[in-house]
Amino acid sequence: MTIKFTQDHEYIAVEGASGTVGITAYAQDQLGDIVFIELPVVGKVLKKGDEAAVVESVKAASEIYAPVSGTVTEVNAVLSGEPGLVNQDPAGAGWMFRMSIADAGELDTLMDEAAYQDHIK
């Protein structure tokens, strides 16, 4: 499994032609306590950079963008009742949605772990 990162702190964990999207540990720390999450509907077609979800902290709303183009295949409905999972386990139980990847070439425009760690320094 390959994990890629965007400048805006989303990750996409790629398995074959699909990917699981969430926000990084750094992003959840910056946002603070997450109190509400608006997820996309399954079947939604996203272009790279489209607004895909919204996370609300106590203070503010932040948009989550599609890391690559594709179609939403599954959402983490548990987050509706337990948005704090994004704070507790952003890379695991706090995932937000899964998507099919329309153009694998777009993954090459994203950062790998080392580049992302450099980006948030």
Which listed residue (2, 15, 61, 109) binds another protein by CB under 8 A?
61
Least distance from another protein to the Cβ atom of residue 49, Å: 17
25 DSSP assignment: H
Which listed residue (15, 33, 103, 113) binds another protein by CB under 8 A?
33
Q: Which residues of 82-100 are buried (b: 16+ CB within 10 A; e: fewer)?
A: ebebbbeebeeebbbbbbe
- CA 68, 104, 83, 87 dihedral sign is negative
Which listed residue (31, 66, 75, 86) binds another protein by CB under 8 A?
31
21 DSSP assignment: E
- Contact between 47 and another protein by CB under 8 A: the answer reads no
Contact residues toward another protein (CB under 8 A) are 27, 30-33, 35-36, 38, 54, 56-62
